[in-house]
Amino acid sequence: MTSPRKNQRILVVDDNRLIHTDFEKVLCLHQRRAEELARIENLLFGDLEQPVAGEGGPNFELSHAYSGEEAVELVRKATSASKPFALAFIDVRMPPGMDGIETISRIWDLDPIQECVICTAYTDYSHEEILKRLGNSDRFQILMKPFQPIELKQLALSLVGKWNLSWQARHHERNLQDEIEQRTAALVQTIHDLEATRGQLVQAQKMESLGRLAGGIAHDFNNVLMVIIGYADTLLERCTDQHFELQEIIRAGERATALIRQLLAFSRRQPCNPRVLDSAKAVESMRGMLSRVIREDLGLTFSLQPELYLEIDPVQFEQVLLNLVVNASDAILPGGGGRITVTSTVVDLDGTLVGYDGKTIPAGPHLSLEVGDNGQGMDETVLAQLFEPFFTTKAQGRGTGLGLATVYGIVEHSGGSITVRSRPGQGSTFGLFFPLVEPPSEGVVESPPDRSSTRGDGNLLVLVAEDQESVRGFVTMVLEQDGFRVEAVENGQLALERCVARAGAYDLVVSDVVMPELSGVELRRRLAELFPRLPVLLMTGYSDLVEGEQVRRIEGMLLTKPVKRTALLEAVHTLTAGKGGAG
């Protein structure tokens, strides 16, 4: 708000026209002299571009009213035009209309800050009568008739100055109020943003804590499952009876393994190996499996745009789609008419679409993959907890609460975003958005490594590094039964020292990843520097040390626990193929 020029407007209200002339002489003397000088200059010299300035002094701008009613109307117009009077000189007696006291009261109704001077004689109202009608106020002064010119001029100067100072104070107060409101709004927005950030931080910390818990559970459980499945698998090959019981043990172990992998997926700690996939072909390859996991009374339709590529771990992509379709199936009540749709298309986002996590999805071309259903839908309470790990609306025993949490973890970890549209009774649609990538360049397809399985000849020496005694014993047993000589140590540091002490003695090192003192990844790095031709096979139940690029670099030399006997031997034979014994 900008400050206007100083207000010098004065209203004179009197029924006697000679009084108006007196006010003009006293309050506009300098202006009248300047006008007279300009007239004389014009007669003598003609029109001048720069007329000679008159004497200095207040440049009051007078307006005249000859009755109270006329004065009220002038004030109304001036106020409406935002050109208020700074001061009004008002005679008390103005027959036959309203008197000066009533005029002031009516003026104040229109302009409450108007300064007024009551011009009165001793025969007019007493001071007590005036106060009774107008109240105690600093907005009016009393000027007794007859008054001196100097008295009138000084009163005008003081009251006009007072009005302008008062206006400036109100002007600054309004500016200050506007600034306070703006800063308050900014503060409210900042608090809102901080609360949102705090919520995201709490969620991130919760996911991090759950992830660490999941990682620890996965590491320990996978070691246990490796022993259970491994020995059961070994017994299954030897025994002629009790096949059913052993197969049930193995199947139970595999179900536990799948659950552990879901824990790792939602916590983003499952080692992944991203690949560039044709989304349509990837979904089409799952059509049969998806049809089998839903109820027979449900319809499943696909509408897939071809040649839309994304980068994601193929196994995790299948897990995401499978979980969403199963979730959609569970959301539809039996009774016929249920349908699930899987749709893929390309969308060019403008940077305004917001994901479930409240973050804006970046602008640019994206693959949009939607899984929709016409099931029960969800209310706001369920939507708010939708991706919380272990949250489920299913009956006890029918769900772990990890399916959608797994989807969220995989999609976020793969650089994608999720949206959810749902209302009670109107079904749900989960939208996945992945940045589009270029299709893989056509070239020579890499041949898979030779995994021919020939038994050890008794000359090949394998060093096993594993901190869990039961796992170490199982691996040693499997390798020795297959004809290998085996030495075993309980951590990476001992394995490194053994390799250095017996340089060239070992044909292969089999190592766990997570071990005290020296990890398997660091052991592999140091052995590669010391003995470049010594292969190292890593096994992991879970590790933050093995992800992304590391997985791609050591592919073929990394096994995920629980490792079955056949998979272990296949990897060992591949890495020792062509060796005839080192020691």
Are the C-beta atoms of residues 467 and 520 closer than 8 Å to each other?
Answer: no
Are the C-beta atoms of residues 221 and 562 closer than 8 Å to each other?
Answer: no
Q: Half-sphere exposure (CA, 13 Å, Cβ side) for 574? A: 18
Give the DSSP H or E segment for 429. Answer: strand 428-435
* Rounded (5°) CA angle 271-568-533: 85
Residue with tokens 């006697």: 16
CATH architecture designation of domain 9-147? 3-Layer(aba) Sandwich (3.40)
Sorted by sequence, the CB contacts under 8 Å of residue 19 that are 6+ apart come out as 12, 91
Which amino acid belongs to residue 502?
R
Question: First-to-last CA distance in the chain?
Answer: 92
Give, for all 583 residues of the chain, the pLDDT tens digit.
Answer: 444 568 999 999 999 999 999 999 888 865 555 555 555 555 555 554 444 444 445 678 999 999 999 999 999 999 999 899 999 999 988 888 899 999 999 999 999 888 999 988 766 677 788 888 888 888 888 888 888 889 899 999 999 999 999 888 888 888 899 999 999 999 998 898 888 778 767 766 766 676 677 677 777 888 888 899 888 888 888 876 788 888 888 888 887 877 777 666 655 555 567 889 999 999 998 888 888 888 888 999 999 999 999 999 887 898 899 889 988 998 888 877 899 999 999 999 998 898 888 888 999 999 999 999 999 899 888 888 887 766 666 655 455 566 788 888 888 888 999 999 999 988 999 999 999 999 887 643 333 344 344 455 668 999 999 999 999 999 999 999 999 999 999 999 999 999 999 988 999 999 998 888 898 989 999 999 999 999 999 988 765 545 544 444 454 578 888 888 888 999 999 898 877 554 4
- Both tokens of residue 344? 């893929």
- How far is it, in rounded angstroms, from Cα 174 to Cα 172? 5
Of 415, 318, 425, give the one whose Cα is nearest residue 367.
Answer: 415
Sorted by sequence, the CB contacts under 8 Å of residue 186 that are 6+ apart come out as none
CB atoms within 10 A of CB 491: 20
Question: Where are the domains positioned within the chain?
Answer: 9-147, 273-435, 461-576
Which amino acid belongs to residue 451?
R
Q: Do domains 9-147 and 273-435 have the same CATH topology?
A: no
Superfamily name and number for 273-435: Histidine kinase-like ATPase, C-terminal domain (3.30.565.10)
- How far is it, in rounded angstroms, from Cα 182 to Cα 5? 27
* Rounded (5°) CA angle 452-453-456: 130
Q: How far is CA 267 from the centre of its chain?
A: 20
Fold category of 461-576 in CATH: Rossmann fold (3.40.50)
pTM of this prediction?
0.47
DSSP character for 446? Answer: P
Positive or negative torsion for Cα 393, 394, 398, 404: negative
* Rounded (5°) CA angle 205-209-210: 115
- How far is it, in rounded angstroms, from Cα 470 to Cα 245? 22
